Amino acid sequence: MSDSAINKVGATTGNWLDERLGASGVVKGFSRKVFPDHWSFMLGEIALYSFVILLLSGTFLTFFFVPSAAEVVYDGPYTTLAGQHVSEAFDSTMHLSFEVRGGLLMRQIHHWAALIFVVSMIVHMFRIFFTGAFRKPREINWVIGMILAILAVVEGFLGYSLPDDLLSGNGLRIAQGIVLGIPVVGSYVSFFLFGGGFPGEAFIPRFYTLHVLLIPAIMLALITFHLILVVVHKHTQYPGPGKTNSNVVGFPLFPIYTAKAGGFFFIVFGVTALMGALFTINGIWVYGPYDPSPIGAGAQPDFYMGFLDGAVRIMPGFVEFTVWGHTVSPNIFLPTLVLPGLMVTPALLYPWIEAWVTGDKREHHLLDRPRNQPTRTGLGVMAITLYTLLWISGGNDIVATHLHLSINDITHVLRVIVFVFPPLAYLITKRICLGLQRKDREKVLHGRETGRVFRTEEGEVFELHAPLSANDRWLLVGFDSPEPAQALPATDSSGVRRPGGALEKVRQKISKFYFEDRVAPVTPAELAEAHHHGDHEEISASGGGDEKHAISSGH
């Protein structure tokens, strides 16, 4: 076919589709849509692609997995399980792993993709939080993201429970213990969930339906909504020359991002497949079938549940007490249900908390540098520290054996530092941020230190400072720096009493906590003053245009 013939076929097909779908408008709009370019904007993409990989590999697994607790005798090729009584779920997972071509690889890809899914969501959330991308108008998307992360954890736990191996059974037993720990209704909820006593035969088909149907469907809907909102809000961008709150500087979706994102999908799939091929994950053949009597040392949940396990491990037992002959035992309820509630709720509400403190009603499309919001950054690192400590506690037995420590000592130490380290992390992070901001100020006012030290004939010693380019300087001065909320007079200029009152006082206190020790960006006046000041020290011997600072003059 000649070129013109190809064009004609293309045009006819395109026209046929357009007349029926009206797609050209959408394609035109989308293909010119601009996205900014930065590696940290691709973290959410990793999560999205992992989800797609999970759907694909999970579909393969459903072709072979039998969601049934019915007892069968294992007669497959794995000799150390020969003749043992196992559930059909376990049997079919073994069959899938050892007798289906590529089955074990698919299982491992599925499980690694699940871990990468949660890892990338967490890191994506860090990016959003530390750059302030949750601010107006993106608060709802922040909440959707949080719900997606929570659903991912639940979905992961359900999947971990399905093969009915010893490890998952142990995990399930702990989950049932958590359910039983709910005051008053715990035992009823447990009976309802498991359809009777633990473990029963009902949980596998029930968990299966939740795992392959209900939760993925909700997640798919939320992810769709999440992405639609990204398009509606347009993507945020890092501050820089030419980037404002009302534009997006980047490349069009077609062809640049179609190629980049499409390619990145295959990269993520490739990395996941590589991990599935190289590293064993959840070797159920070693764990053996579940039976409520045995337990294996090193029984842990997947990493994302590790912080809950860790909280239980360091929870002292003395909180149990008796009221009118009834034992009240909050020592499981507190660490597994109250604590995550306390950790998730402030995170969910954070966009509103910060907006309330700053009183900022504006839209924000330009991202913050983390150092320019020292208190927020400090709070974020504090939360990460708490999560990490609890996670370490969840692996305290592995830490003990591998670092040759006493597990009791680890537990005692963690009980203390879980309260001490997070505030410490907040303080240190905030100080680092303030220090970096001061360094930025210094750079703007006096230029970059060149390391070239001069001494004049009179004996004066100074270091040569090179001025910043206008672009570099803009990055260091062009940011928002809210001031602490000031106490306003009780009545306004017309003598009308101001609304607020007690709540307003609280807001002022929190605002003070946030912005009291802020380092303000350099103002144009300060800059002019600094340059003027620098002129005093101009000496003819030095290079043209460089600003000098005598060390003796106190800079």
Partner 1 sequence: MSALAARRRHPLATALIVLLGLLVTGVGYAAVMPSTADASTSTASADDIEQGKKLFLANCSTCHGIDAEGRNQAPSLIGVGAASVDFQVGTGRMPLAMSGPQAQEAPVRLSDEQTAQLSAYVASLGAGPSIPSQDVLDPEAGDASKGAMIFRTNCAMCHNAAGAGGALTRGKFAPNLDDVSYKHIYEAMVTGPQSMPVFPDTTITPDEKTDVIAYLATIRETPNPGGMALGKLGPVSEGLVAWIVGLTLLIGFAVWLGAKSS
Cα-Cα end-to-end distance for the chain: 76
Among 65, 285, 462, 479, binds partner 1 (CB under 8 A): 285
Q: Is 80 in the site for partner 1 (CB under 8 A)?
A: yes
Q: Distance between CA atoms of 81 and 286, rounded to whole angstroms?
A: 9
Binders of partner 1 in range 304-333 (CB under 8 A): 304, 306
Helical segments of 453-523, H only = 470-477, 502-515
Binders of partner 1 in range 393-412 (CB under 8 A): 394-398, 400-401, 404-409
200 Ramachandran zone, left/alpha/beta (phi>0; psi -120 to 50):
left
Binding-site size for partner 1 (CB under 8 A) equals 77
| Min separation Cβ 112 and partner 1, Å | 7
Q: CA angle, corner 444, sides to 443 and 446, nearest 5?
A: 65
Q: Is 370 in the site for partner 1 (CB under 8 A)?
A: no
CA distances from 497 to 14, 25, 357, 491, 532 (A): 66, 54, 21, 4, 47
Amino acid at 29: G
| Min separation Cβ 299 and partner 1, Å | 7
Q: 3-state DSSP call for residue 100? A: coil
Q: Is 462 in the site for partner 1 (CB under 8 A)?
A: no
Q: Distance between CA atoms of 306 and 336, rounded to whole angstroms?
A: 11
Contact between residue 172 and residue 69 where contact means Cβ atoms under 8 Å apart: no
Peptide bond connecting 255 to the previous residue in cis, omega within 30 degrees of 0: yes
Q: Which stretch binds partner 1 (CB under 8 A): 195-203, 300-308, 319-327, 448-456?
A: 300-308
| Min separation Cβ 282 and partner 1, Å | 7
Binders of partner 1 in range 470-509 (CB under 8 A): none
Element (H, E) at 417: helix 407-446
Q: Is 73 in the site for partner 1 (CB under 8 A)?
A: no
Only one residue has tokens 């520290």, namely 385
Q: Is 267 in the site for partner 1 (CB under 8 A)?
A: yes
Contact between residue 290 and residue 169 where contact means Cβ atoms under 8 Å apart: yes
Q: Is 271 in the site for partner 1 (CB under 8 A)?
A: yes
Q: Is 236 in the site for partner 1 (CB under 8 A)?
A: no
| Min separation Cβ 409 and partner 1, Å | 8
Q: Is 37 in the site for partner 1 (CB under 8 A)?
A: yes
In the bound state with partner 1, the residue whose beta carbon lies nearer, of 19 and 409, is 409
| DSSP-derived secondary structure letter, 199 | S
| Min separation Cβ 508 and partner 1, Å | 41
Q: Distance between CA atoms of 360 and 282, rounded to whole angstroms?
A: 48
Residue 54, number of CB atoms within 10 A of its CB: 24
Among 97, 176, 385, 393, binds partner 1 (CB under 8 A): 97
CA distances from 72 to 7, 287, 351, 486, 503 (A): 62, 17, 53, 73, 64
Among 287, 307, 350, 479, binds partner 1 (CB under 8 A): 287
Among 55, 64, 68, 84, binds partner 1 (CB under 8 A): 84
Among 26, 214, 295, 427, binds partner 1 (CB under 8 A): 295
Q: Distance between CA atoms of 364 and 167, rounded to whole angstroms?
A: 47
Among 262, 263, 346, 435, binds partner 1 (CB under 8 A): 263
| Min separation Cβ 301 and partner 1, Å | 6
Binders of partner 1 in range 42-61 (CB under 8 A): 42-43, 45-46
| Min separation Cβ 66 and partner 1, Å | 21
Residue 75, number of CB atoms within 10 A of its CB: 10
Binders of partner 1 in range 101-120 (CB under 8 A): 104, 108, 111-112, 115-116, 119-120
Only one residue has tokens 């708490």, namely 386
Q: Which stretch binds partner 1 (CB under 8 A): 177-185, 268-276, 321-329, 518-526?
A: 268-276
| Min separation Cβ 45 and partner 1, Å | 8
In the bound state with partner 1, the residue whose beta carbon lies nearer, of 302 and 354, is 302
| Min separation Cβ 97 and partner 1, Å | 7
Q: Distance between CA atoms of 233 and 229, rounded to whole angstroms?
A: 6
Among 195, 262, 294, 346, binds partner 1 (CB under 8 A): 294
Q: Is 242 in the site for partner 1 (CB under 8 A)?
A: no
Q: Distance between CA atoms of 264 and 374, rounded to whole angstroms?
A: 33
| Min separation Cβ 162 and partner 1, Å | 15
Between strands 321-323 and 251-252, the pairing is unpaired
Binders of partner 1 in range 121-140 (CB under 8 A): 123
Q: Is 540 in the site for partner 1 (CB under 8 A)?
A: no
Residue 547, number of CB atoms within 10 A of its CB: 20
Among 71, 99, 291, 516, binds partner 1 (CB under 8 A): 291
Q: 3-state DSSP call for residue 249? A: coil
Q: 3-state DSSP call for residue 251? A: strand
In the bound state with partner 1, the residue whose beta carbon lies nearer, of 62 and 406, is 406
